[in-house]
Amino acid sequence: MPQELILPLVMRWIHLLCAVMVVGSILFYRLAVVPAAKQSFDGEMPENFKFNLMKKWKLYLHTSIILFLMSGMYYYLKVGRHMVPDDSKYHMLFGIKFLLALATFALYIILTSTMRWSEGLRDKAILWRLLIVLITAIVLIGGVMRLT
C-alpha cells in the first residue's frame, strides 16, 4: 500500500469507528438501558444511577465526538473535496451534514451532562427523539454524498 494512502485510510477508520460509537451508544441507551433501568427500578432510574451512568458514558462519547470531528475534517480537506472539486451539490450536502452534526454533538453534550442545569433536559423524550432524527438525517445525507 502506498505511504500516502495510509493516513487517509486510518482517518477514515477512526471516523467510522467513532460514528459507530456515537450512534450505537445513543440507540443502546434509549432502546435498552432506559427501559431496563425503569423496569429494574420500578418506574424511574435513581438519580445517582443516572449521574454515574452519564459520567462514564460522556467520557467515551466526548472523546469519540472530538475524534469524529478531527477525522471527518481531515478526510474532507485532504481527500473528499478533491474527489469532486467542481460538484457544488457535494459541498452543499457536506455543509448541511456538518451543521446537523454540530447540532447533534451539542445535543449529545447537553443530554449527557452531569451539571444541574441539564437534569430536566435529560428526561425530555422529545430531545432524545430529535437526536435520533438528526442522526438518521446525517447518515442519509452521507449515503447521498457517496453516490455523487
Task: Enumerate the domain spans of the chain.
Answer: 3-147
Query: Residue 141's pLDDT is what?
Result: 93
pTM to 2 decimal places: 0.77
Indicate the DSSP class of residue 43.
Answer: T
What residues contact residue 63 under an 8 Å CB cut-off, 6+ apart?
none
Indicate the DSSP class of residue 118.
Answer: G
> Average pLDDT over the chain, rounded to whole?
85
Distance CA 148, CA 146 (A): 6
Cell numbers 445517582 correspond to what residue?
A: 48
Distance CA 109, CA 55 (A): 11
pLDDT in tens, 86-104: 767 888 888 999 999 999 9
pLDDT in tens, 36-57: 888 888 877 888 888 888 888 8
